[in-house]
Structure 1
Amino acid sequence: MACSSTLTRDRNGAEKVVHPDLLAAIPDSVLLRLFEAVAQQSKRDLCAVSRLNKRYHALADAVLYKTVLFLNPELHLLFSESLSRRPRRGSAIQHVKLAYPSHELTALTIDAHAPVHGYRPQDAALRFDSLPRAIAAMSNLETLDISVPVTLLHGIGQLFNGPFDLACLKSASLFYQCPEDGYWDLRENIHIFAHPTLESLTLRRARLDYRGFDLMEQPHATALKKLHLVECDINDDALSDLLVFPEALQEFVMTQLEDPQPELEESSDMFRDYMVAIDSAAASLETVTIDFPSLAGHKPLALREFEKLTTLRMNWDYQLFGKTSRKPRLQSVGLPPSLETLEFFGELGRDEEVTELLAHMIEHLDLHAAKLERIVVGEGTVPPEVKAACLKHPRLKLDVIGEFDVSDDEGEEQSEKEEQGSEKSQESLDDDEKPDEKPEASHEEWPKLEHDGIFKDNLHSATHQVVDMEVDNRTDTRV
């Protein structure tokens, strides 16, 4: 394609060369790929290109605003104002993260009547309302990550209640900063569990009481597949109500500190209660992780209904088998039929009776868990009876956290020793096959041998005598 430059004159009459636009003939689909490659190297360069004409500006918006991060509320307000002028820009956003501390929002509230880059709302309430409205304008949003002050809790919660807001949302992470690091009320955002397209949900430091989802309108068959509760204070009955909605929940993770602060008010103190709570999703769950060290276990778990569960993680072995008590054991543990990985975050052996039950279960693995292939144990010593039981099954692998590198190094050292030993044995065999030879004298010993008269005169004759004697012996043997 031949392109030629043109010569023009500016307002002052000076001549200037105008180069042709080589990108004008490229289709939009190809040009969009080029802009994506430029954005990976430098978004500043792509911004410069977007200023050339309207076509480049529209294509660059789809790349520049695909992922947006707001580090302070002022930038969020500025972007909200820009959406009023360019509403189509909101549809280009697919991933957004809001992460700014409480003190910045407080400063914005105090200075409520101050303009923000020419934007002067009437009061602070309008400013707070504009933040959720900006998110609602993102019609193609797929990922929402929120870590903002609790002041915005109610406004953002209204987004999940609208029938047309965030219709393409697939992943959400919610955390609202409370005074003194407290728990935020999940009831303000409870409608997120009714979202039809949401597949992954992470809640951090949320609190929900026994009422759960007590609204009149109940959702039907949501798309939720992953639910992570990080340091939350959730009632087990409320959790059971929430897990009725997902059509096929595959992963459930619940973590809590060993000494949670502030103290838990709604959470149960029994491990079994939470396993009963997630029983409504037993038909589809594949991974269950409950890292809650303070939960007790007095009864063995019955997990036979979790037919698809392949990975089970917990803190203590007694949470699985139940602690030893004065009462006799009337039930035995029932492991999932498809279980492949069983992991304990804490060390084993705190309860002797539980240790015996664990060893007995491993010895009769084909009866209890026919597909179990791996047992992972936290740092600490493993009871010898458990190790011995694991060695009886070739397919079962016992992994102790913190000993992987050590075992690998020991294996390498052992292999090196074996190689060195084989080399030495081979050298000894070669030496046995060779006839006996006298060691050669060093250069320092040469004068001494000559002085004794052994090397020059007697060595040659002595060698002939030895050879003659060997020939005579062989002749006698044949006879």
Structure 2
Amino acid sequence: MQRDSPGDLLAPLPDELLLQIFEAVGRVSKRDLCSVSLLNRRYNGLADSILYKTIQFNTPEHHLTFSQSLSRRPRRGSLIIGARLEYPDSELSHLSLDVPVPGSHYAPSRFDGLSRTISTMSNLEMLDVSVPSNLLHGIGTIFNGPFDLACLKTCTLFYQCPDDQYWDLQENIHIFAHPTLESLTIRRAKLDHRGFDFIERPHQTALKKLHLIECDINDDALSDILEFPEALKEFVMTQTPEPEPELEESSINIGDYIIALKSARHSLESVTIDFPTLVGYRALRMRDFTALKTLRINWDYQLFGKTSKKPRLHSVGLPPELETLEFFNELGKDEEVTDLLIYTIENREIVASNWKTMIVVQGDDREVTKDLVQACKSHGLQLDIIGHFDED
């Protein structure tokens, strides 16, 4: 159909308005938008920018087809804003690793086809990777490229390893030096004490959110990479109650990870450490975390330190601007720690005057003590008990 055809009622509309119409069509049906793109060259160019705004590779054949399309449309890669790569190891073929990729400056003999395809996405803002570990090195090289993924803001990394092992974060370590990245989620990775072991180190990065999900991370390495963000605001670290395989790099002391966060103490607003196997040998000292408003951990003894034969030389130092304190596991397993928690609540106006809410869980074999409930009521602290029916 020609642009000036009498049957084309959309032809007089400006491109800006057509883009809005095509976006609405695309939200309802990508297939219908594909049909529209075949009507004429003008519609094809406008629809192309919407169809390829976010892509998902579920099989190696998907990125093989896309790579071939780059020979016809070299600029198509620059249209992509978001990319999700997700397929199991069983679907990875040698053909997909050696496919030619027009527009990529990486040599096919050294880098796999998927990594070279990603390198053509010059305006990519979101990258979600869940692919076999065979592609670990190639994608990691892109993060070290000075001109690749220059607009990236959000990234999720997970590489499938044999026997469900942890993948080596050293292969992708330059993701922490990315200047524009704001949110990073890493799943089932390991990182040893070397951390960012390179002479050339970034000065300030834009990273604001860091989530480490079921990872085996050395606390010294974490301290090293957290020196780069200019203003990290949210930190999340989780692990299962019985990690498999066994952790080799992680510390067993929650205090080591709080120390690792010290370089971000001026900007952190939320810290979540859902790591049940961590112990607390000493009370946490977090008075320097001047911006922290939310603290979420597993056990009360991780905050106050386990009771031992040695005398307690330090009291807990809550963040001065703390508003919400949450415990993922039941309270009351250490009576001395419970007494210290009640004492802290009674002195809320002194230790953390903005502390408004405490969230706990109902235990299977013990309830939250009445003394703790009464202390919260008496001193204006809202107590939310998950799994408890409030009869009042």
| Cross-structure match for 2:60 | 73
Shift, 1:364, TM fit: 1.1
| Cross-structure match for 2:69 | 82
Say whether residues 1:382 and 2:365 are aligned partners. Answer: no
Shift, 1:84, TM fit: 2.4
Relative contact order, higher structure (CA 8 A, sep 6+): 2
| Cross-structure match for 1:351 | 334
Cα 1:89–1:348, aligned 2, differ >3 Å: closer, same or farther?
same
Candidates 196, 199, 214, aligned match of 1:231: 214
The answer as to whether partners of 2:196 and 2:225 remain within 8 angstroms in 1 is yes
Mapping for residues 360-375 of structure 1, pairs under 5 Å: 360-375=343-358
Candidates 75, 80, 83, aligned match of 1:93: 80
Cα 1:217–1:164, aligned 2, differ >3 Å: closer, same or farther?
same
Amino acid at match of 1:252: F
| Cross-structure match for 2:378 | 392
Shift, 1:20, TM fit: 3.1
Q: Aligned Cα RMSD in Å?
A: 1.8
Q: Distance in 1 between matches of 2:24 and 2:211?
A: 34
Amino acid at match of 1:322: G
| Cross-structure match for 1:157 | 140
Shift, 1:174, TM fit: 0.2
Q: Unpaired segments of 5 or more residues in structure 1?
A: 1-5, 7-17, 120-124, 412-479
| Cross-structure match for 2:312 | 329
Shift, 1:251, TM fit: 0.2
Cα 1:127–1:51, aligned 2, differ >3 Å: closer, same or farther?
farther
Q: Which moved more, 1:78-87 or 1:232-241?
A: 78-87
SS in 2 for 1:23: coil
The answer as to whether partners of 1:341 and 1:372 remain within 8 angstroms in 2 is yes
Q: Distance in 1 between matches of 2:169 and 2:297?
A: 25
Shift, 1:376, TM fit: 0.3
Q: Which moved more, 1:247-256 or 1:382-391?
A: 382-391
Q: Distance in 2 between matches of 1:128 and 1:165?
A: 14
Amino acid at match of 1:385: D
Say whether residues 1:20 and 2:7 are aligned partners. Answer: yes
* Count of equivalent residues: 379
Q: Distance in 2 between matches of 1:127 and 1:273?
A: 40
Q: Distance in 2 between matches of 1:68 and 1:202?
A: 19
The answer as to whether partners of 2:64 and 2:96 remain within 8 angstroms in 1 is no
Mapping for residues 413-428 of structure 1, pairs under 5 Å: none
| Cross-structure match for 1:467 | none
Q: Distance in 2 between matches of 1:326 and 1:185?
A: 40
Q: Distance in 2 between matches of 1:344 and 1:131?
A: 42
Q: Distance in 2 between matches of 1:19 and 1:128?
A: 51
Q: Distance in 1 between matches of 2:97 and 2:178?
A: 37
SS in 2 for 1:357: helix
The answer as to whether partners of 1:83 and 1:134 remain within 8 angstroms in 2 is no
| Cross-structure match for 1:44 | 31
> Which structure has the greater CA radius of gyration?
1
Shift, 1:85, TM fit: 1.9
Candidates 40, 46, 51, aligned match of 1:64: 51
Q: Distance in 2 between matches of 1:32 and 1:391?
A: 57
Amino acid at match of 1:383: T
Q: Unpaired segments of 5 or more residues in structure 2?
A: 103-107
Shift, 1:126, TM fit: 5.7
Candidates 378, 387, 392, aligned match of 1:402: 387
Q: Distance in 2 between matches of 1:362 and 1:115?
A: 63
The answer as to whether partners of 2:98 and 2:112 remain within 8 angstroms in 1 is no
Amino acid at match of 2:140: G
SS in 2 for 1:313: strand
Candidates 173, 182, 188, aligned match of 2:156: 173
SS in 2 for 1:335: coil
Q: Distance in 2 between matches of 1:266 and 1:84?
A: 45
Q: Which moved more, 1:375-384 or 1:343-352?
A: 375-384
| Cross-structure match for 1:299 | 282
Q: Distance in 2 between matches of 1:284 and 1:33?
A: 39
Q: Distance in 2 between matches of 1:393 and 1:233?
A: 40
| Cross-structure match for 2:196 | 213
Q: Distance in 2 between matches of 1:114 and 1:286?
A: 42
Amino acid at match of 2:112: D
Shift, 1:354, TM fit: 0.4
The answer as to whether partners of 2:97 and 2:112 remain within 8 angstroms in 1 is no
Cα 1:114–1:216, aligned 2, differ >3 Å: closer, same or farther?
closer
The answer as to whether partners of 2:293 and 2:323 remain within 8 angstroms in 1 is yes
SS in 2 for 1:347: coil
Normalising by structure 1, report the TM-score: 0.77
Q: Which moved more, 1:130-139 or 1:188-197?
A: 130-139
SS in 2 for 1:84: coil
Q: Distance in 1 between matches of 2:49 and 2:175?
A: 27
The answer as to whether partners of 2:30 and 2:51 remain within 8 angstroms in 1 is yes
Amino acid at match of 1:345: F
Candidates 130, 146, 157, aligned match of 1:147: 130
SS in 1 for 2:372: helix
Higher helix share: 1
Amino acid at match of 1:353: E
Amino acid at match of 1:386: L
Q: 1:179-220, CA deviations, whole angstroms, 9 ceiling, x for partnerless residues?
A: 000000000000000000000000000110000001011001
The answer as to whether partners of 1:77 and 1:127 remain within 8 angstroms in 2 is no
The answer as to whether partners of 1:314 and 1:345 remain within 8 angstroms in 2 is yes
Candidates 317, 322, 331, aligned match of 1:339: 322
Amino acid at match of 1:294: T
Shift, 1:379, TM fit: 2.6
Q: 1:62-93, CA deviations, whole angstroms, 9 ceiling, x for partnerless residues?
A: 11111101100111111111112211111111
SS in 2 for 1:85: coil
Cα 1:322–1:226, aligned 2, differ >3 Å: closer, same or farther?
same
Amino acid at match of 2:43: Y
Q: Distance in 2 between matches of 1:113 and 1:281?
A: 41
| Stretches of 4+ aligned residues off by more than 6 angstroms | 113-116
Mapping for residues 197-212 of structure 1, pairs under 5 Å: 197-212=180-195
Say whether residues 1:247 and 2:233 are aligned partners. Answer: no
